[in-house]
Amino acid sequence: MPRERVTLITLGVRDMDRAKAFYRDWGWRLHPSSQGGLTVYQMNGAALALFELEALAEDQSVAVETLGTGASTLAQNCADRAEVDTVCRAAVAAGATLLKEPEEVFWGGYSGYVADPDGHVWEIAHNPFWPLNDDGSLTLPDEAG
């Protein structure tokens, strides 16, 4: 199997009910294997999990105070600029904090940033140099854009 893969992204959350409500209201569909302190969403070729922050710290053998959202960004690429606007508006309506309005960006695309209720940052972007496959997945082109 290729090493360049991510199969599961786990986000530590302080309030599972609030986090589940946010992702539900943003349009994510709960997977039936969700249970107790673990909420799971099937993504295209991977899964997103919400895990109670205290349980995540225990699982990692670290103090809960050391966990944060870190310097990372989750990204959702969209087919066009209109979809970026729609997805950002839907996230804010579901309870996200708008960090940056969608706008044209220096690299030639269009993007904005939102944070979920636990502060996990999502970039919502349209990159004209990275076209999406019909199923919404991304395969990077062989040539530089």
**What's the pLDDT at 1?**
79
Q: pLDDT per position in the chain (145 positions), as tens?
A: 788 888 999 999 999 999 999 999 999 999 999 998 899 999 999 999 999 999 999 998 999 888 876 678 999 999 999 999 999 999 999 999 999 999 999 999 999 999 999 999 999 999 999 999 999 999 888 875 5
Angle at 136 between CA 18 and CA 98, to 5 degrees: 40
**What's the pLDDT at 52?**
93
If we measure between CA atoms, which residue out of 61, 93, 80, 88 comes closest to residue 131?
Answer: 80
Q: Which residues fall within 8 angstroms of residue 116, CB to CB, at 6 or more apart?
A: 11, 19, 22, 23, 91, 95, 96, 122
If we measure between CA atoms, which residue out of 47, 8, 23, 21 comes closest to residue 122?
Answer: 23
